[in-house]
Amino acid sequence: MEIDPTNTLRYESRKDLWFSVVVWASVIVCVFTIYLAGKDESSFVFGIVFSVFILAVIAFLLHIYFNTYYLLSKDELKIFSGFMKQIIPLSSITEMKKVTDILSNPALSSRRVLIKHKKSYIGVQISPIDRDDFINQVNKRIELIGKEN
């Protein structure tokens, strides 16, 4: 079935097993640390402050884990990763290719798509679950933009 390139598509980020293990292990360690801090009655205030800090770390990790996705509209790509949002006009994309990398980017997997565009020298890497479909849909939209201009 052909998807209408004028519709907005949502692509979830692929989540590698190693990334999921790190996030969930960190959450478990943080919860256990809060439990231990609560058992020490001699430093009650420290325990509360420390627990609030740890809860903030847990919230941040889980926010990134559950809120990394990509919206592909008719003329732009919106990248969401935790509290970060980046918008790339499709007309500014100069290159896309599949890469395998673990450098810091709004991607939760090492199986990524490198997107180079006119606003960034190094580009951005994202990890849609279906890289081939994502690349095909972006190319269709770029082709439509070229026909409209």
- As a whole number of angstroms, the distance between CA 127 and CA 107 comes to 5
Please give the chain's pLDDT, 149 residues, in tens: 355 666 899 999 999 888 888 888 888 887 787 777 667 666 667 767 777 888 888 888 889 989 999 999 999 999 999 889 999 999 999 999 999 887 777 788 889 999 999 888 788 999 999 999 999 999 999 888 877 76
Domain containing residue 126: 1-149
CATH number at residue 144: 2.30.29.30
Place of tokens 């003329």: 75
pTM above 0.85, yes or no: no
For the chain, the domain total comes to 1
C-alpha neighbours within 13 Å on the C-beta side of residue 148: 10
- As a whole number of angstroms, the distance between CA 27 and CA 17 comes to 15
